Amino acid sequence: MPVIAPMPAPRTNRIPSQREGAEGTMAEDTMAAGTTVDHLTETYRAHYRSLLGLAALLLDDTASCEDVVQEAFIRVHSARNRVRDPEKTLAYLRQTVVNLSRSALRRRILGLKLLSKPMPDMASAEEGAYDQLERDALIKAMRKLQRRQREVLVLRYFGDMTEAQVAETLGISLGSVKAYGSRGIAALRVAMEATA
């Protein structure tokens, strides 16, 4: 899959003032370690497929997933001076993918409300298979969950993230992740038993 590799940002040679001296330069070098274009690009390339999978699970629309992931890279690239810790680059990318997925879903819902007539259901060739029916039931059940429950479950179980990583990505507490997760699983269990 194609990966956007941005043009390196032009370097500016700033001369430190006498008050800053060597200390100001050292502080800049430390802060810049997590904000370099090379580090961001390397992180993006290494985790591209997992970011794409995350977008696919949140959007359930493979056509726009790649656009969301690439847009996330562009946004983090343009705001890379905010990423002070190199270890948080991936977290910034994930959070941006989640936010852009939310925006895409909002636009899609608004578009569906504005349609004068409903879109016809398109039957796929695999629809008769048992595993496809089970997957469809799971997707329907996931759509009925609260937004936060769905996001926690997708990140935790499909994104294979720890509870702490989910909390950091969504910007909520660890206790909230556990609560949303357990309520979401309980709701899914009830919905899946009803379809069985």
pLDDT computed for residue 125 by the predictor: 53
CA distance 17 to 81: 21
Rg (CA), the chain: 21
CA distance 118 to 105: 17
Helix residue spans in 79-123 (DSSP H): 89-114
Of 72, 55, 62, 54, give the one whose Cα is nearest residue 4. 72
CA distance 53 to 160: 11
Q: Is 24 strand, coil or helix?
A: helix
93-138 residue pLDDT tens:
999 999 998 888 888 877 766 665 555 565 555 455 666 777 778 8
CA distance 138 to 133: 9
pLDDT in tens, the chain (196 residues): 444 444 444 444 444 444 444 444 443 444 444 558 888 888 889 989 999 888 888 887 777 888 899 999 989 888 878 778 878 888 889 999 999 988 888 888 777 666 655 555 655 554 556 667 777 788 888 888 899 999 999 898 888 889 999 999 999 999 999 999 999 999 988 888 887 6
* Beta strands in 60-107, from DSSP E residues, in sequence order: none
pLDDT computed for residue 121 by the predictor: 60
pLDDT computed for residue 7 by the predictor: 41
The overall pTM is greater than 0.75:
no
